[in-house]
Each structure stands twice: as structure tokens, then as C-alpha cells.
Amino acid sequence: MTDGFDPYALRAQFPAFNASDWVYLDSAATAQKPQCVIDAICQSYMAPVANVHRGQHQASLSTTAQFEQARREVAAFIDANPSEIIWTRGATEAINLLAYSLSHTLTANDCILVSEMEHHANLLPWQLIAQRTGAQLVKIPCCVSTGQLDMDAYQQALTTRPRIVAISHVSNVTGTRHPIEAMTALAHRHGATVIIDGAQGIVHEPLSMQTLNADFYVFSGHKLYGPTGIGVLYGKPEALATLAPFHGGGKMITDVTFDDHTLAPIPARFEAGTPNTAGAIGLAAAIQWLKQYDAQAIDTHISDCYQSLLDGLKQRPAIKLICPQPHSTIVSFVVEGEHHADIAELLSQQNVAVRSGHHCAHPLIKALGVEGTVRVSLGAYNHQEDIQRFLTALDKTLYLLGV
């Protein structure tokens, strides 16, 4: 217990742990959901159901009010204005929207800087756009011994005056927290548009968009203790104004003739069709739930668990840590001569859930010189008993493998 913060009381709010005696160490993939989020989603379907922004009857007006209140909750959470928040299906769709829209401004003379440590969601959209426009895709390399981006190489690459810089807030493989503030400021000095994938970062480190000053920041609801199928694209007003819509359909226009149309104001022009109303309401509930806790107390608690995890892994000679960070929520490792999937499977048989594989980050895994890793990632609901149970299960796994 840390300064009044009780991880056991927090954990008790998650039905997934009440229903099963398991150790869940895969929150970087998706987080479990507290009861209040489940209740908010259920209530949104149990009340009279209606579409938003389309009806004058009470059900539609009530649903619209909840939908827009959710937008305001998200905006307040990241210190932004509601008009700067675009609903998407997740971080992946948000980045694809940006890549599609910004592609209309790119030529074969332009370049896009993307870090070597990106999840495929923040690499493949830029690959596709580079192939379509002829623009050059330029890598920001990482130092494979530290898991940090090569800032000297980054500053050198900026001298080519790239049009776009796309980087993650936190690596989903190593847990590296990139210096996004400094990287954003440097990129802006060279006239670049900055896009940050915050999927792994926002849950552990809420940011002020006013302070960060990135042009765009994206994240998914399901890693933030919210539902799947909902995501957020934040954009500066002047940056959003340059974008072309990704989807066409209802709600995103104010007038249509057979040959042309007039776009609705932002954010509506980017939200064609029936939205994931329940997802937005569920994400707002998750943010409200998270805000009731002291963020520093949660961070301290998770840091203590992470340190116990790191210390335990370092004490086992068979374990090779992959660029461990001094402060993180993610650690990856390999066991020489053993397949990462075998380790994850043997842990699973002991009711311990971890992730194994390339973590949708093939270029980074290849740069690290491994075929894949076992990844352990923490959430606010984990506690020291989880760490000890994991280490005990790991010892048995290594014994069974003859390591």
C-alpha cells in the first residue's frame, strides 16, 4: 500500500480477477476493465437506443448529450478542447486517417521520418503512403544496447527538412519512454508535422497537449481500461484544418448535391456514419474512474512492482533482458536456446498470462537480433504477489526446459 493507495481495493473492481485466479501481465496488449466501465456500456444499451446527431426525439437527444460529454471528458484528460478530439476505432485507424489525409500534400521530393522502434500501426501506413506518393521513408535508428533512439541521427535527419515525423510515446517492446517533448520541438524548428502514437504512454502518463505541442496525438481506449473499438485522434485546430476526410457518408456534411458536397465543421467531417457511441461512453467512464486515483500514487505502486520484476529477472542467469529501462511498465526477455512461445505456453499452463512474439514490431525485433521476446507488462491492478507468482512460475518453466 502506497500513501493510502490500496492496489487490492482497486483490483477488486475488476470482474476478470474475481472470476479467475490468474496472473495477468499483458496490459500492454489490452487492459482489463473495471466494473464501472462495463456498467456504463451496458447502461448505454439498456436505455432507449438512438443514433446521435440525427433525431429530435428524447432518446436521440439524450444519447447525443452523453456522446458529446464523453468527448469533453477525453479533451479535459489531455488538456485539449473538445473540437480537437476526433473519434476513431483505435490508434491504428487514427494513424491511417492521418496518413491518407496528409498524403495529398506529399510529393516524391518529400520525406517521412519514422522511428525504428514503431509498432506496425505507426509504420505500415507511412510505408503505404510513401509507396503511393514516391516520398522517401527515412528511419530514425535506435541504439540496440540501450533501447533509446539515436538522437544524433535524428537531428541529422531533420536537416533534410522532412514533412512528417512519426514516433511513439513509449515503445511496446522495450518500454522505452522517448523524449517526445524535445523531439517535437526539434521537428518543428525544421517545419515538420509531428505525429505521436500514444497507445502505450497515455495510460501511465497523461499529458497536456498544450505543453507537448505535437500536431497530432493518438491513442486507443482499450489500453486505458476502456472498451475496444474506440480511439482518439487529437489534432491542433490548424493541423486538423489541413486534413481531407478519410471516410464519406452521413453526418460529415452540411449539404450534398449529386455532384458535390459541403463538409461539416471539425470534428464532424471526420466522423462519417454511425459512431461507436457505447465505446465513447465506456472510454469516458474509464477516464472518470482513473481520475479518482492519485496518478503519482499509482505510478509509484507500478514502479515498485516493476523494480521487483526487474530485480527478479536479473537474479536468474538464464534470462537475457532486452534493453531494460530504469523506469517503465514493460520488460522483454529471451532465454538462450529456447523459443519465446514455449516459455509463454508453459507460463500459461500455470495461469500466468504474458505475451510472446515480435509484438507487431518486426523492424525493431530484427534490429535487436532476436526472433521474438517474452514480454511482461504491468497495469494498475497488478501487485507484488503477481510478481512473485510470475517468478515462481518462471522458475518451474526453466526447470521443465532443463535450463
Residues tagged active-site: 360
Asked if 133 and 81 count as a contact pair (C-beta separation under 8 A), the reply is no
Contacts with 163 (C-beta within 8 Å, 6 or more apart), sequence order: 102, 105, 106, 110, 111, 112, 135, 192, 193
Dihedrals phi, psi of 214, to nearest 5 degrees: -70, 155
The three grid cell numbers given for residue 123, joined into one nine-digit string:
509504420
Give the count of alpha carbons within 13 A of 164, CB side only. Answer: 34
**Alpha helices, DSSP H only, in 273-319?**
277-291, 295-314
Contacts with 132 (C-beta within 8 Å, 6 or more apart), sequence order: 103
String of DSSP letters for 334-370: EETTS-HHHHHHHHHTTTEE-EEE-TT-HHHHHHHT-
Distance CA 38, CA 111 (A): 44
* DSSP reduced 3-state for 195: strand
Asked if 198 and 207 count as a contact pair (C-beta separation under 8 A), the reply is yes
Asked if 220 and 90 count as a contact pair (C-beta separation under 8 A), the reply is yes
Asked if 70 and 195 count as a contact pair (C-beta separation under 8 A), the reply is no
* DSSP reduced 3-state for 192: coil
Asked if 47 and 278 count as a contact pair (C-beta separation under 8 A), the reply is no
Residue (of 128, 99, 111, 227) closest to 162 by Cα position:
111
**Alpha helices, DSSP H only, in 159-212?**
180-189, 209-212
Asked if 397 and 346 count as a contact pair (C-beta separation under 8 A), the reply is yes
Task: Specify which residues 101 forms β-bridges with.
Answer: none
* DSSP reduced 3-state for 136: strand
Asked if 304 and 115 count as a contact pair (C-beta separation under 8 A), the reply is no
